[in-house]
Structure 1
């Protein structure tokens, strides 16, 4: 089943030689919702390839507060963990399972060798960097230039796209932690968005209109 998912999610960009090697040396792992996959300051010996589920990537400040950087879906990897592998032995990010997820963990040594020796792997890594770089720029723009109602609405639309549904089951406190603000602020802005007919609120559920 895991090998089938590997083929399904990565065959469009990785060649059969690399997929075969990943199947042999990779470690298949499953995580429940809210499990920490990679933590801040954790030694990085593997990079994750996501087979199913969604992962959120967070940064942590000196006071332990978290800021959402971007989401990852099946068929993707984390550019932040790639960068850490190449430059430092410890992680600078926290990766948390947004929902039940399965991954295959690839040893760092292989990642480096493949980058120089395999065109499809190199293109995959460079493409991953570009996509994540654009998303980080978008996150910076949101923080620097957007008002909270715009940030929150963009966040909700991203969650809906990941879930494949206009209905989002989430607590106000969880949103507040992702957007690095307070639950009171989130509740107020959600009500504002509802008054603007952009969303509909119900208990622990938000519908994008």
Structure 2
């Protein structure tokens, strides 16, 4: 069981980002969860690993992606405070190896729920049951969105959408990233992304800096 001070900290996170959870559920999570901090760039999940816990994000931003045999990346979705990774939930519950990677985009804090609790939480707490269902639904919709963009939109549209969404998630018009990182996420080359960003800058949509992009739209 956690110390009273740790339980209080977890309760604060749950009240702020998971307010729909019933009181009893918050209490049991506060007793059994742990808090883990990740530095920007640190991996939260790796391909081939088994999960001992599932994570609720309470601070920061996490990128979930697949890695190809040639080292290329395919962006899947972001995790922000108040969310959980559906794929990690599935792997944790079924005790299967991860087929995805997750990296902290910025300093991130997560609540770790032991997998031994998962079945009981699903049976005993309706708010947890509905949270898991909603997590599966929302992540599935995000995957469909990614597929739609890859299949039906040009790279210029995908880039604009990517920047707008990242800006919203970071709650800032100043995005700190590199052209190479954007290229990795969008399955393109740095040269193509740089050219499209320069075109956006010429149209007054962005101002480019060293590892920064200032949005104006």
The answer to whether the superposition gives a TM-score over 0.5 is yes
The separation in 2 between residues aligned to 1:129 and 1:52, in whole angstroms, is 21
Q: Which moved more, 1:166-175 or 1:133-142?
A: 166-175
Aligned residues: 208
**TM-superposed deviation, 1:53:** 0.8
If the length of structure 2 is used for normalisation, what is the TM-score? 0.91
Aligned partners of 2:11 and 2:27 also within 8 Å: no
1:127-169 deviations in whole A, cap 9, x for unaligned?
Answer: 1111111111101111111111111111111111111111112
Q: Aligned with 1:76: secondary structure? A: coil
If the length of structure 1 is used for normalisation, what is the TM-score? 0.94
Give the structure 1 partner of residue 21 of structure 2: 14
Structure 1 residues not aligned, in runs of 5+: none
Q: 2:45 aligns with which of 13, 35, 38?
A: 38
Verify: 1:152 aligned to 2:159, yes or no: yes
**TM-superposed deviation, 1:114:** 1.2
Verify: 1:178 aligned to 2:201, yes or no: no
Structure 2 residues not aligned, in runs of 5+: 1-8
The separation in 2 between residues aligned to 1:89 and 1:27, in whole angstroms, is 22
The separation in 2 between residues aligned to 1:185 and 1:59, in whole angstroms, is 21
Q: 2:115 aligns with which of 108, 127, 131?
A: 108
Q: Aligned with 1:194: secondary structure? A: helix
Q: Map 1:65-144; keep pairs closer than 5 Å.
A: 65-144=72-151
The separation in 2 between residues aligned to 1:79 and 1:199, in whole angstroms, is 33
1:106-145 deviations in whole A, cap 9, x for unaligned?
Answer: 1112122211221110011011111111111101111111
